[in-house]
Amino acid sequence: MSTVLDSLSGIVGERWVRTAGPALDTYASDGLPTINSPPRAVVIPGNRDEVIAVVRTLAAANVPFVARGAGTGLSGGAVGNDASVVIALTRLNRIISVDTVNRRATVEPGVVNARLSDATRPHGLHYAPDPSSQAACTIGGNVAENAGGPHCLKYGVTSNHILELEVVLPDGELITLGSPAGEPWGPDLVGLFVGSEGMFGIATRITVRLLPIPGSIRTLLADFSSVRQAGEAVSAVIASGIMPAALEMMDQSCVQVVEASIYAAGYPTDAAAVLLAEFDGESEAAVDAESAQIAQILQANGARSVRTATTAADRARLWQGRKKAFGALGRISPDLVVQDAVVPRSALPDVLDEIAAIAKRYRIRVSNVFHAGDGNLHPNLSFDGRNADERRRVEEAAGAIMEACIAAGGTITGEHGVGSDKLRYMPLIFDAETLTVMRDTRLAWDPAGLANPGKVVPIHACREWHAGGRARKAVA
- Looking at 146, 256, 261, 382, which residue binds other proteins (CB under 8 A)? 146
User: Minimum distance from CB of 446 to other proteins (Å)?
Assistant: 10
- Measured from the CB atom, the residue of 259 and 433 that comes closer to other proteins is 433
Long-range CB contacts (within 8 A, 24+) of 254-260: 254/325, 254/329, 254/367, 254/368, 254/369, 254/380, 255/321, 257/325, 257/328, 257/329, 257/331, 257/332, 257/367, 258/321, 258/324, 258/325, 258/328, 259/321, 260/328
Is residue 234 a contact partner of residue 294, using CB atoms and an 8 Å limit?
no
Is residue 364 a contact partner of residue 399, using CB atoms and an 8 Å limit?
no
User: Minimum distance from CB of 301 to other proteins (Å)?
Assistant: 13
User: Minimum distance from CB of 257 to other proteins (Å)?
Assistant: 25
How far is residue 85's CA from residue 4's CA, in Å, rounded to a whole number? 10
How far is residue 241's CA from residue 271's CA, in Å, rounded to a whole number? 27
How far is residue 26's CA from residue 32's CA, in Å, rounded to a whole number? 13
Tell me which residues in 264-323 interact with other proteins (CB under 8 A): 281-283, 285-286, 288-290, 293
Residue 454 in the binding site for other proteins (CB under 8 A): no
- Measured from the CB atom, the residue of 223 and 415 that comes closer to other proteins is 415
How far is residue 428's CA from residue 409's CA, in Å, rounded to a whole number? 11
- Looking at 105, 111, 152, 249, which residue binds other proteins (CB under 8 A)? 152
Pairing relationship of beta strands 376-377 and 379-383 according to DSSP bridges: unpaired
Residue 345 in the binding site for other proteins (CB under 8 A): yes
Binding mask 379-418 for other proteins (x = CB under 8 A): ------------------------------xxxxxxxxxx
Residue in 414, 262, 278 with CA at minimum distance from that of residue 330: 262
Q: What stretch of H or E contains 250? A: strand 246-251
- Looking at 76, 109, 170, 195, which residue binds other proteins (CB under 8 A)? 195
Residue 205 in the binding site for other proteins (CB under 8 A): no
* Selected range binding other proteins among 65-73, 84-92, 187-195, 350-358, rule: CB under 8 A: 187-195
Residue 174 in the binding site for other proteins (CB under 8 A): yes
Largest Cα–Cα separation, the chain: 70
User: Minimum distance from CB of 228 to other proteins (Å)?
Assistant: 14
Tell me which residues in 92-121 interact with other proteins (CB under 8 A): 101-104
Residue 151 in the binding site for other proteins (CB under 8 A): no
User: Minimum distance from CB of 395 to other proteins (Å)?
Assistant: 19
How far is residue 274's CA from residue 303's CA, in Å, rounded to a whole number? 9
Tell me which residues in 226-245 interact with other proteins (CB under 8 A): 235, 238-243
Tell me which residues in 46-85 interact with other proteins (CB under 8 A): none
DSSP state at residue 461: G
Binding mask 362-381 for other proteins (x = CB under 8 A): ---------x--xxx-----
Residue 180 in the binding site for other proteins (CB under 8 A): yes
The gap between the terminal CA atoms of the chain, to the nearest Å, is 22
Residue 351 in the binding site for other proteins (CB under 8 A): no
- Looking at 8, 70, 157, 404, which residue binds other proteins (CB under 8 A)? 157
Is residue 199 a contact partner of residue 445, using CB atoms and an 8 Å limit?
yes
Q: What stretch of H or E contains 403? A: helix 388-407
Residue 468 in the binding site for other proteins (CB under 8 A): no
Is residue 80 a contact partner of residue 426, using CB atoms and an 8 Å limit?
no
Tell me which residues in 3-42 interact with other proteins (CB under 8 A): none
The β-bridge partners of 125 are 212
Say how many residues touch other proteins, by CB under 8 A.
Answer: 92
- Measured from the CB atom, the residue of 166 and 390 that comes closer to other proteins is 166
Residue 189 in the binding site for other proteins (CB under 8 A): yes
